[in-house]
């Protein structure tokens, strides 16, 4: 009789293989996103990789991100304006633009693209 | 007399701001890359974020990556074929396709796009 739970009989290598996951960063983007969407693509104790979908969202008036973790973030589709506390200039980010933000560097999303979804990949570490 | 080294007088917050770095993942791709190009975009003790540029490269015959770290990797431009030890099927990866590979899951790059550079972003964690 074949095992009903092959996982139980798997070798450590096979178990690791089962944990190999995949996806496409552009897939299953909803037509409308009333709230920003945050999805964890991978994580361990020290790192979290997220896909973020913004639909013309911006940080609330007067709000600053002030994070305990560093964040490396890249725009893949759409566009966004990032502001850093103490700077006048807004950093306009287009597909492929990345920024590595040390912990506690206060920043906010001034705007995201009004015409299409903005897809980000972010690594918190 | 203005300070010759404003960094020395900077507050901790200003020092962190100086460490905020940015770039574009598609920028400055050489016309030809005789060897694969690996660039570290960000790192800390626990994580390393790399841009990798392949120019029709493949892993050497019989070679398998067998890494102590997990790797989350995404193709941004071009295409690639990934093979996992013990599997016949090659995982064809196109722009936006990502795979999260646990430590010690043996894999190799069977091929990368012969017609254009393949740009990857990889997070080792």
* Residue A5 banded pLDDT, cuts 50, 70, 90: low
Q: How far apart are CA B119 and CA A81, in angstroms?
A: 25
Of the two residues A37 and A15, the one the predictor is more confident about is: A37
B77 CA: distance to closest CA in chain A (Å): 11
Overall average pLDDT of the B32-60 stretch: 93
Assess whether pLDDT exceeds 90 at residue A13: no
Overall average pLDDT of the A101-107 stretch: 95
> What would the two tokens of residue B22 be?
């940015």
* Residue A94 banded pLDDT, cuts 50, 70, 90: very high
pLDDT in tens, B9-41: 788 788 888 889 999 999 977 788 889 999 999
Overall average pLDDT of the B83-107 stretch: 95
> What would the two tokens of residue B30 be?
């050489």
Helix (H, G, I), strand (E, B) or coil at B17: helix
Q: How far apart are CA A22 and CA B82, in angstroms?
A: 12
> What would the two tokens of residue B62 be?
């019989």
pLDDT for position B2: 55
Instruction: Check if the beta carbon of residue A79 is closer than 8 Å to that of residue A118.
Output: yes
Assess whether pLDDT exceeds 60 at residue A4: no
Instruction: Give B-chain residues touching A76 at CB under 8 angstroms.
Output: 76, 96
Overall average pLDDT of the A91-100 stretch: 98
**Vertex A27 angle, CA A25 and A32, to 5°:** 110
Q: Would you list which residues of chain A are within 8 Å, Cβ to Cβ, of chain B? A: 13, 16-17, 19-27, 41-42, 44, 46-47, 49, 70, 72, 74, 76, 84, 86, 91, 95-106, 121, 123, 125
Option in B26, B42, B84 nearest A72 (CB): B42
Option in A44, A76, A102 nearest B70 (CB): A44
pLDDT for position B18: 82
Summary mean pLDDT of chain A: 91
Find the closest chain A residue to B50 by CA distance.
A72
Q: Are strands A21-24 and A97-101 parallel, antiparallel or unpaired?
A: unpaired
pLDDT in tens, B105-124: 999 999 999 999 999 999 99
ipTM rounded to 2 decimals: 0.89
Find the closest chain B residue to A50 by CA distance.
B72
pLDDT for position B16: 81
Find the closest chain B residue to A125 by CA distance.
B47
Q: Are strands A97-101 and A71-77 parallel, antiparallel or unpaired?
A: antiparallel
Instruction: Give B-chain residues touching A24 at CB under 8 angstroms.
Output: 96-98
Q: How far apart are CA A15 and CA B50, in angstroms?
A: 27
pLDDT for position A76: 98
Query: Which whole-number Å values give the CA distances from B63 to A58, B60, B113, in the listed order?
Result: 47, 5, 19
pLDDT for position A29: 77
Assess whether pLDDT exceeds 70 at residue B72: yes
* Residue A32 banded pLDDT, cuts 50, 70, 90: confident
Q: Are strands A71-77 and B21-24 parallel, antiparallel or unpaired?
A: unpaired
Whether residue B20 and residue A98 make contact (CB cut-off 8 A), yes or no, is: no
Whether residue B96 and residue A26 make contact (CB cut-off 8 A), yes or no, is: yes
Q: Chain B interface, mutation test: which of A10, A12, A14, A16, most B Cβ atoms within 10 Å?
A: A16
Assess whether pLDDT exceeds 90 at residue A9: no
pLDDT for position A11: 81
* Residue B77 banded pLDDT, cuts 50, 70, 90: very high
Instruction: Give A-chain residues touching B22 at CB under 8 angstroms.
Output: 91, 97-100
Instruction: Give A-chain residues touching B86 at CB under 8 angstroms.
Output: 17
Overall average pLDDT of the A70-79 stretch: 98
């Amino acid at each position: 009789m074949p095992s009903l739970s092959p996982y139980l009989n798997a070798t450590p290598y096979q178990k690791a293989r089962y944990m190999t996951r995949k996806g496409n960063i552009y897939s299953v983007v909803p037509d409308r996103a009333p709230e920003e969407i945050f999805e964890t693509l991978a994580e361990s104790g020290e790192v979290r990789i997220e896909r973020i979908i913004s639909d013309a969202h911006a940080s609330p008036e007067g709000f600053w991100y002030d994070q305990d973790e560093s964040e490396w973030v890249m725009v893949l589709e759409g566009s966004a304006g990032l502001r850093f506390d103490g700077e006048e200039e807004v950093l306009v980010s287009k597909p492929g633009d990345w920024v590595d933000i040390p912990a506690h560097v206060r920043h906010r999303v001034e705007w995201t693209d009004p015409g299409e979804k903005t897809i980000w990949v972010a690594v918190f570490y």
